[in-house]
Amino acid sequence: MITLKPLGSPDQVFFISKVETCYTYRVKKLLFVFLISLLPGFVSAAEIQVLPEAIFQGDPISISLDIPVSEISSGTFLGKKLFFFTLNNNAKALVPTNLYKDLGMYPLTITLKNGISLTKNIEIQKRQTRKIVLAIPKQLGDNTPANQTKVITKLVDENKILSQAYYRHMRPLWSASFRNPLATSTITDTFGTVRDTGSYSVSHKGTDFRAGIGTDVYPVNRGVVRFAGTLPTYGKAVIVDHGLGVTSLYLHLSKVNVIVGQLVLPHKLLGKSGDTGFSGGPHLHLSVKIDGVSIDPVTFLKLY
C-alpha cells in the first residue's frame, strides 16, 4: 500500500534537497573536468619556439613563447639562467653558443608561474670552418717568430680590455630591426675561420666586410658607446652596448666619430673603415657578443 504525502512534507523536502546537492556536485565536477581539458591547449599555446632552425657552434639562439613575460618563473639552457624580455608582445630570450661548444643535444627548460614546466631539446651542430694563413703585417713589425708571439700576446691583453666594456641592461635598448653596418655588405671572411700565424692559430670571431678606407660605418642598432679608442692589434675600435648583454664591435677603423657614453642611433655615423692594427688590408671587422660570448654576426642580424 502506497501512502501519498502532501507536497512540502519533511521527507520530500529532504529528498529534493539531496537531489539539488547531487546536481551541484555533478556540475562542479563537470566544470573541473572541462577546465582541466583546457590545460593541454594552454601548454600548446606556450610552446617554445627556437631560431635559427639549424644551430651551429657559435650561433646565437632566439627563444620565444607566445605568452607575457609576467607568466614565466625561470628558464635555463647550457647551465645558464635565461633573461626574458618583451618584443612584439611575446616573451623572448637570447642565448649564445660558444664556437668551441661540444656537439650534441642540450635541454632547454622553462618553468611557468603556474607550475608548468616546458622542455625542448636543442641540437648544436658542427660549424664548418676553413683555414688561412695570416702573416703579421709590416706596420706591426713584420712576420718574425718573436713578433708573432708579441702580437698574439697583445691580442689576448686587448680582449681583456674590451671585455670590461660589457654591461647588462635588463631590457633592450633597441626597438627597430638590426641592420648591416655598411650601405653595401660584401663578406670577405666569415665567422669561425682559423687563421694560422706562424705557430699560432686564432679563430676569427667576427665577420669581415669589404670596405675601402673612409667608408661610412653605422651602428647595427640603437645603443650606448662603451669603448672608443685605439688598440695595437684591433686598431681604431668602437663598442656599442645594445642592452640585454648584446654588444657590437667595429674594428680596424680609420676614424672614430663617437665618444664613450654617447647614445647612438642606426643612422648615426660611428666612424670610417680602414686597415689599422692587425689587418691584411682595408675592411670592416664586425663582431657581436651576447653575455661576452662572440657569436656569428650574420646569423644574429638575420634573427632581428
Residue 164's pLDDT band (cuts 50, 70, 90): confident
Please, is 117 exposed, middle or buried when counting C-beta atoms within 10 Å of its C-beta (0-12, 13-18, 19+)? exposed
Q: Higher pLDDT residue, 5 or 215?
A: 215
Please tell me the predicted confidence (pLDDT) of residue 46. Answer: 74
pLDDT at 65: 95
Structural domain count of the chain:
3
Residue 199 belongs to a domain: yes
pLDDT, tens digit, 9 for 90 and up, residues 73-94: 999 999 989 999 998 889 999 9
Tell me the pTM: 0.82
pLDDT at 14 over 90: no
21 with 107, same domain: the answer is no
User: So what's the pLDDT on residue 236?
Assistant: 97
List of residues 6+ apart from 95 with CB closer than 8 A? 60, 61, 63, 77, 78, 80, 82, 290
Q: Do residues 159 and 18 share a domain?
A: no
282 and 146, same structural domain?
yes
Range of the domain at 80: 49-125
